[in-house]
Amino acid sequence: MADISKYIPMVDAILSASNPDEISPKRVRKALQILFSVDLDPQRKAINELILERFGNIQENPRVLVPKEVLINRDQELALKLQEEGGRSLRSTKKRKAKSETKPKKKKKKTESADSNSISVRKVLLSAPLQVFLGAEELPRTQVVKMIWKYIKEHNLQNPEDRREILCDEKMEPIFGKKMTMFSMNKLLTKHLFNPNEIVKHEEKEEPMPKKEVKSEDEHLPDASD
């Protein structure tokens, strides 16, 4: 039997780039067959177990991907910087070097880009059942997923006959029901995670406007009995 561990890097790449609500072991296995031009049907069970293991690992340790646009901007900035440095004359370079030797260099504080890794620290509000389960009012989404998977592993809640199935205990039932699949967990979580800004805006819109008292014309008329 061929060593299937060689497929791990590609399995991780496919899972990381896929929507966790739509991916399945079958889809990943079919993709591997096409990419490596191999027939994996004889090893279907072993491949599926590998895919499930890698999926669980990625869910427990979420990876934050830097958007492609950010990478492109960084490359462009680096190219411009190199071009500017290459176009300077040797005389200006020596002058700058002499000046730097006379004055101590100030260390520049590193500032993180607003887009870089922001998803890993941006907190979301948790629903009441999820707050009870995780013991926090707000957390980064990646941390929520990581904590849930840690709980699943520690309490052996994966169905031993079908590891894709999670058999929820009493603490998880208010959030996910009696059972779910490992691929549907992220979709179910969306009902329990809220953007703080959207909640504030929603509350502002729902707040009723104070009613102004408007006197009718009859109230200004004298009583007929006067």
| Amino acid code (one letter) for 78 | L
Residue 35 lies in a domain: yes
pLDDT in tens, 32-55: 998 889 899 899 999 999 998 888
> In 114-124, which positions are buried (b, 16+ CB within 10 angstroms) versus exposed (e)?
eeeeeeeeebb
Of 13-27, 113-127, 143-157, 184-198, give the range with the top mean pLDDT. Answer: 143-157
Q: 126 with 202, same domain?
A: yes
Residue finishing a domain among 30, 45, 60: 60
Residue 186 lies in a domain: yes
Residue 184 lies in a domain: yes
For the chain, the maximum distance between any two Cα atoms, rounded to a whole number of angstroms, is 109
Which own/partner pairs from 160-169 qualify as long-range (CB within 8 Å, at least 24 positions apart)?
A: 163/49, 163/52, 164/25, 164/52
Going by pLDDT thresholds of 50, 70 and 90, the confidence category of residue 192 is very high
Q: 128 with 198, same domain?
A: yes
Domain hosting 25: range is: 4-60
Residue finishing a domain among 60, 76, 104: 60
164: CATH: 1.10.245.10
Residue 191 lies in a domain: yes
CB distance 25 to 164 below 8 Å = yes
174: left (phi over 0), alpha (psi -120 to 50) or beta: alpha
Task: Take residue 172 and report the two structure tokens written for it.
Answer: 């998880």
Does this model's pTM top 0.75? My answer is: no
Residue 80 lies in a domain: no
Name the domain count of the chain: 2
| Amino acid code (one letter) for 19 | N
Q: 131 with 200, same domain?
A: yes
Residue finishing a domain among 29, 60, 91: 60
Residue 22 lies in a domain: yes
Residue owning tokens 């620290």: 121
**pLDDT score, position 202:** 45
Residue 48 lies in a domain: yes
Residue 103 lies in a domain: no
Does the pLDDT value for residue 114 go beyond 50? Answer: no
Q: 126 with 199, same domain?
A: yes
Of 69-78, 119-128, 195-204, 211-220, give the range with the top mean pLDDT. Answer: 119-128
pLDDT in tens, 85-96: 555 555 565 666
DSSP string, 52-108: HHHHHHHHHS---PPPHHHHHHHHHHHHHHHHHHHHS-HHHHHHHHHHHHHSPPPPP
Task: Take residue 39 and report the two structure tokens written for it.
Answer: 């027939």
